[in-house]
Amino acid sequence: MNTPLEDQVHDALHRRVDPIQHAPLTVTDVRHRARRIQRRRAAVAGGAVAAVLAIAIPVGLSATGTNQRSDVPPATQSPSPTPSPSPAPEVTSGTIEVDPESAEVVEQTPVPLLDVDGPTLITPDGTLDLPAAYDTLTPYLDGWAGVARYDEPDKSGAFIEFLGEDLRVDDGGVPTGGLVESPDGARIAWSEYDGTRWRVMVADPAGGTEPVETTFAPTAEEEPVIPVGFVSDDAVAVRAMYNIGDPKTFVASGGQPVEVPGLLQADTASSTLGVVAGITEFRPDATCSGVVDAAAGGGRPAWTTCDHRLGPFSATGTYVVGTLPEAESGSRDITVLDATTGEEVLTFEAALPRRTVGGFWTQMTWVGDEALVVRLASGEDYVMMRLGLDGSVQRIGIESAGVSGLKVAMPS
């Protein structure tokens, strides 16, 4: 049973996080916009392109606060971290204590972050002011694609929006179940509701090819299709019809969706391994998770665990994150598992004061195979941490504009 203090802090956490966590935009609209961008790019070929590129080169300033601004890379250049070079960094074992107070402080972020109260996008090369707060944001065409969350009488929930290079919304949002990106940044995928049915779009952020559409059977907006991750270069796993109490797993790669059995709820995926991971069983004393082969059509999981809820896979599919199965206010620890066997590699344990509610939030991202960037809550305070598989613990010392703090811009 929760104490009154825990209940108060729990409510406060949700009030802080909920704000960050309807003109239809059709597939034709997206395609027309891509063609407009391609024509615009062709019109400025040659010397004009060279001049624009010269102006767009980042000045290389580190993002040390919300008052500092600099150019960021062209929007078609993904800000996602690249896999770590060979040889692979040394990996430690055992349990590593994560104490923000004693951790080394670094003034730069290895991955793009969102400042919720700014709202701003903070990258390793500079900071951009945003027109609204976004749950996720990634480069797309000559601008950005993001998920904005609204809580207004005539507009409530998550909406996909497309921003131009001037950071103005070019295309009005439609309801979405989320936005995901492939580990190499070569593809993004999102879902959208057209008033009758859900669709999943897989797109080339550079605009080299038109988006590929997968159409689902007619259903209600309240029964969303939620992308969870890529299972190949061009196919994405999704969780469908979650709100009716019978979620199903599908792979979307154009045409009709293909169901993947074996999971009660899909949570994450790996394009390198071609697998989907999620909940396999609800027990009276535990919630169990496992990994199924998407290419083989699912079925019996390759391995399962009842000690961890599975999170993002590393870029090469070597590791997968495990958090506590029941962690409503954050997981007290993060365990890195071998993605092919489920064996524990090492654990990061949050050092929280007594009677303090908090822990690691599940929205996190990998830096190649060498580190995780995670948001750590301690009571009503939030910090961003870089946790290296070599046992290093660093606090990202970038100040936020308000009490809501920072979060990763594009979770793995």
By the 8 A CB rule, do 308 and 345 touch?
no
Q: What is the mean pLDDT of the chain?
A: 82
Question: Which residues does 192 contact at the CB level (< 8 Å), separation at least 6?
Answer: 25, 160, 174, 175, 176, 198, 199, 201
pLDDT in tens, 231-243: 999 999 999 987 6
**What percentage of the chain has pLDDT greater than the value 90?**
64
Q: Say if residue 397's pLDDT is above 80.
A: yes
Better pLDDT: 347 or 65: 347
pLDDT given for residue 119 in this prediction: 95
- Work out the pLDDT band at 153, boundaries 50, 70, 90: confident
Task: Give dist(CA 105, CA 109) in Å, integer.
Answer: 11
- Would strands 393-396 and 381-388 be described as parallel, antiparallel, or unpaired? antiparallel
pLDDT given for residue 171 in this prediction: 82
Number of independent structural domains in the chain: 1
Range of the domain at 372: 4-408
pLDDT in tens, 38-95: 433 333 333 333 332 232 323 222 333 333 343 444 444 444 455 555 556 689 999 9
How many degrees, rounded to 5, is the angle at CA 409 between CA 408 and CA 412? 70
pLDDT given for residue 70 in this prediction: 39
Nearest partner of 321 among 407, 260, 412, judged by Cα = 412
Average pLDDT over residues 90-109: 94
Whichever domain contains 375, its CATH number is 2.130.10.150
**What percentage of the chain has pLDDT greater than the value 70?**
77
Which helix or strand (DSSP H or E) is residue 7 part of?
Answer: helix 4-17
pLDDT given for residue 25 in this prediction: 36
Task: Give dist(CA 322, CA 291) in Å, integer.
Answer: 12
